A and B are shown apart, each in its own frame.
Chain A
């Protein structure tokens, strides 16, 4: 098993029990998709529907970064995770 550190903000934080930061234990070799699925199991359908569309792809505007790198620049939801990885999940954000 391995542990990754999950961080999220704003509306997604509210759907994850108000936790900005939390540890998540996963089987070795788990992917980003597996991590998001597990969070969905913990926090329920409201979170699942916020993150995934009907075909289990990320909803528009949701971005996931692993150790700072957006997963779209790696293998998307199939990006593998390693013990100690930092996973940042963004709801749609813009401005600045």
Chain B
């Protein structure tokens, strides 16, 4: 029985049998994994075989907020969805914010597991302990915004919180997202998994409160956190007014803002056209997630004839994916195209990088107008980007079908040298940082359990120069294996599992994040955690996810970079002369595996798995003859 923080219940919905069951959340799982991504990875490992078909009935969708979600802790309305990704074949874990995450807690649940596959379109309605699988036939074909409007009418409750898929998810694009209001579980094709289950939406309304085990200690921890936020040099003075788009200016000045499919990073300054000064001129206000005093989301209204009326909130990554990486210098087209991706339910990042690949292949003559339905796919053609987003969402014959499953599959379909130009790792398209100019940030892309994912181990030491735990030369190779492990474990333990906003931890609490997490989670739940316990949670989740990926067939050879980044040197700008050689990669990987106590093949050792109390992972590896020290 939990004293607080946790509601103590796991809601399981089987769409094949149309059964709904409620289970107790084991206290050991709460203690060992905290919540969020930790719960997701644990349940995925225990219940889904590594070789499962991601779009088949045996894959599961595991939604989990954290123990702080719904409490007065600031910035904790986050939720992880975990599944086997159809885009990567690895663990697919994606986090979203907004108001949907806390509503699951208010309805009385810590985890929602969706399994099976409905024969016809349905949506799930959760109203406290009343859980109904409803017919969604009339919703099929609708975009994410209309779907949310109609469901609110359908359940006669405008305060119901909804996560849903758009047409991209219905058509099982491997870049499909799950959208909740203006937020997204964006990456790794989680929307395609939902579409494969014929699940259009999840609508939740709860009426309960999240109890606190020790309200006095919780208030002390909360005040400490709010104080740290006030003292942050970034959070209120800059971030609440500018949001993530300000990073365009920073990474442009460092020469790591990738452009034109990475063929000319640093050669053109995109900050002049799509940097913070240009984008702030379109601001119409900001938005907050539940319980967040910062409100970093910048709502923008497009101007000009082509994109007039387009309204959205593009984040930093989208200025890259629908901007520089496709050679686009129009802020208005970025706003409009971001809106389209949200509407259809697509990951802006993977979509943009996949379009960039198509543009490069078009300019090189590897795709022709016959392949592109007549579209002129030269870099910079933002109208073509607008058109392609719809082609992808509806999986239209020709160019839509070619692009809709991401860059890796597209390159395989085109053949020849196309894979050289496909900017993905493990199938996940690269985020907005050229790894050649930020080596630990890059090594995180190469080793993250979800593929090229900046949020699994953000190297703020390199990108913002923050000297925690130490200062690092971003171009150096030595030391980056250790640093990457540190970043991945602390990020997982202090943001992904307690489901705390990552921005907050980076900007306000980098030096004390583990202690802050321990204090908040302990006082909320009554489970006594030290900062060392919290750190081990991060390491445990990263190791368990690694073993899942090994069971899915991944090896050391998959911890790598796109060939282009290892053969071509950045020619201009703040990272001129940088590349990552094969020897650099080998050195960083060797150091990273050693820091993790993994074998040279990247397999966790029996000793490490025992230390982290992961006997189930050791059993799996031993059964396959993969335990390095056997």
Residues of chain A touching chain B, judged by Cβ–Cβ distance below 8 Å, are 7-11, 59-65, 68-70, 72-73, 86, 88, 90-96
Contacts and interface: CB of A to CB of B under 8 A. Distances in A.
B574 A94 contact: no
A72 B471 CA distance: 6
Given A10-B276, A68-B575, A94 B503 contact: yes
Nearest to B249: A9
Interface residues of B, number: 49
Given A61-B234, A63-B465, A65-B254, A94 B239 contact: yes
Nearest to B252: A9
A93 B250 contact: yes
A90 B276 contact: no
A69 B474 contact: yes
B316 interface: yes
Interface string B250-278: 11011100000000000000010000100
Ranked nearest first, the 4 interchain pairs of A and B with the lowest CB-CB distance are: A63-B465, A61-B233, A72-B471, A95-B244
Contacts, number: 105
A92 B235 CA distance: 9
A70 B460 CA distance: 12
A86 B266 CA distance: 14
A72 B467 contact: yes
Interface in B467-509: 467, 470-475, 503, 506-507
Nearest to A64: B465
Task: Name, among A8, A62, A95, the residue most crowded by chain B CB atoms within 10 Å (CB to CB).
Answer: A95
B296 interface: yes
Interface of B: 231-235, 237-239, 242-247, 249-251, 253-255, 271, 276, 296, 315-317, 432-433, 437, 454, 458, 460-461, 463-467, 470-475, 503, 506-507, 574-575
B244 A96 contact: yes
Contact of B465 (A7, A8, A65): A65
A9 B475 contact: no
Nearest to B475: A68
A88 B253 contact: yes
Given A88-B254, A95-B244, A9 B271 contact: yes
B250 A90 contact: yes
Contacts of B233: 59-62, 92
Contacts of B574: 7, 65, 68, 86, 88
Contact of B437 (A59, A61, A64, A68): A68
A70 B253 contact: no
A73 B471 contact: yes
B247 A95 contact: yes
B296 A95 contact: yes
B44 to A, nearest CB: 27
A88 B247 CA distance: 15
A88 B466 CA distance: 14
B246 A10 contact: yes
Contact of A10 (B231, B249, B317, B437): B249
Nearest to B458: A96
